[in-house]
Amino acid sequence: MKKLANTIMLQGTASDVGKSIITTALCRIFYQDGNKVAPYKSQNMSLNSYVTLDGKEIGRAQGMQADACYTVATTDMNPILLKPKQDMVSQVVVHGKPYKDLDARSYREQYLHTAEGIVKDSLHRLREKYDLITIEGAGSPAEVNLKDRDIVNMRLAKWADAPVILVADIDRGGVFASIVGTLEILTPEERNRVSGFIINKFRGDISLLQSGIDWLENKTNKPVLGVIPYLHHLGLEDEDGASLDMKIKSTQKLEDQLDVVVIKLPRISNFTDFDPLLEESDVHLRYIEHLDDWGTPDLVIIPGSKNTLQDLLYLRETGIEEKLTEYVKQGGFLLGICAGYQMMGEKLLDPHHFESDVSELNGMGLFPTETTFIQNKRTERVEGTTLLHFNDQIHFKHSDPIKIEGYEIHMGTTLFLQPVQHAFQIRLAGNYEHSFHNDGVVSDNGKVIGTYIHGILDNDVFRRNWLNNVRIHKGWTELKETISYKNKREEAFDRLADHVRLYLNMEKVYQIIEEGIK
Split at pLDDT 50, 70, 90, the class of 245 is low
Find residue 335's DSSP bridge partners: 301, 449
Buried b (16+ CB within 10 A) or exposed e, 142-167: beeebbeebbbbbbbbebbebbbbbb
The DSSP output letter for 56 is -
Split at pLDDT 50, 70, 90, the class of 33 is very high
Residue 138's pLDDT is 92
What are 300-325's pLDDT values in tens digits?
Answer: 999 999 899 999 999 999 999 999 99
What pTM, to 2 d.p., does this model score?
0.88
For this structure, is 454 an active site residue? yes
Q: What is the DSSP string of 142-183?
A: T-TTTGGG-SSSHHHHHHHT--EEEEEEGGGS-HHHHHHHHH
Split at pLDDT 50, 70, 90, the class of 287 is very high
Q: Point out the catalytic residue in the list 338, 352, 395, 398.
A: 338
For this structure, is 338 an active site residue? yes
3-state SS assignment for residue 262: strand
How are beta strands 57-59 and 49-51 bridged, if at all?
A: antiparallel
**Beta-carbon neighbour count of residue 475 at 10 Å?**
6
CB 195 within 8 A of CB 164: yes
Average pLDDT, the chain: 91
Provide CB contacts within 8 A for 29, sequence distance 6+: 497, 500, 501, 506
Burial class (CB in 10 A: 0-12, 13-18, 19+), 461: middle
What are 402-423's pLDDT values in tens digits?
Answer: 999 999 988 889 999 999 999 9
Residue 55's pLDDT is 87
Averaged over 23-30, what is the pLDDT? 97
Q: How far apart are CA 154 and CA 140, in angstroms?
A: 10
Residue 393's pLDDT is 75
CA 319 to chain centre: 28
Q: How far apart are CA 309 and CA 354, in angstroms?
A: 11
CB 410 within 8 A of CB 451: no
Residue 172's pLDDT is 85
